[in-house]
Amino acid sequence: MRPIKHKNGHLITFDYAKAFSRLTRSELNSLIGFIQTDYNLHISSDSDVTITSNKEFIEFYEFWKSKIEELKYRENVTYTLSVVKNRESSPTILAKVKWNYKLNGKVPKSKYTSVHICSVSKYFKDRESVDLKNTSLIYDAENKIWEYLNRVSPIELMKITGELYTL
């Protein structure tokens, strides 16, 4: 498919690499908004969309439909914090993150992945005084999860030409 120009003059390319080259958690909602707008304009467009086959259009449609779902999930990832006792080091706080998308290029067998957050001693005097609802711990945990997921599961998008790229 080729980029199409919408009635309002907006060229729909699905290329967000320049606008979101270093995507932050706070910018994710903006990215989702741009994608949804372009997606809806493209799907409902009465412009001639040059496609080589219905299969190509369906694959494009399915890719973006699932990608929007993934990005919305990244915005509010489900996780559980827990304290883990290590044999050779001090207890640590881990996040058990529910993740049904690719990690390191493959969909994992397990629906969960563990993310090391910090040592218990960073926030608390000892293991008994741990408060997993501590607001600064939660803030740091969510940032660590964001960083981890972007490292092992970078956001992969598709231009209207079918070319994949990573933010």
In our burial notation (b when 16+ CB lie closer than 10 A, e otherwise), range 82-99 reads: eeeeeeeeebbbbbebeb
Query: 117: number of CA atoms within 13 Å, CB side?
Result: 27
- Say if CB 1 and CB 51 are below 8 A apart: yes
Which tokens sit at 25? 């958690």
Q: What is the pLDDT of residue 8?
A: 64
Q: What is the pLDDT of residue 3?
A: 63
Q: What is the pLDDT of residue 54?
A: 78
Query: Max Cα separation, the chain?
Result: 65
Q: List per-residue pLDDT tens for the chain, 167 residues long.
A: 666 665 666 677 888 998 898 899 999 999 999 999 888 877 776 555 555 677 877 888 899 999 999 999 999 999 999 999 877 778 899 999 999 999 988 988 999 999 999 999 888 887 778 899 999 999 999 999 999 999 999 999 998 888 889 98
Q: Residue 12 and residue 40: Cα distance in Å, rounded?
A: 11
Which tokens sit at 122? 């960073």
Q: Residue 111 and residue 144: Cα distance in Å, rounded?
A: 19
Instruction: Tell me, letter by letter, the H, E, C secondary structure of 120-139.
Output: HHHCCCCHHHCCCCCHHHHH
Q: What is the pLDDT of residue 157?
A: 93
Which tokens sit at 166? 């990573």
- Say if CB 150 and CB 139 are below 8 A apart: no
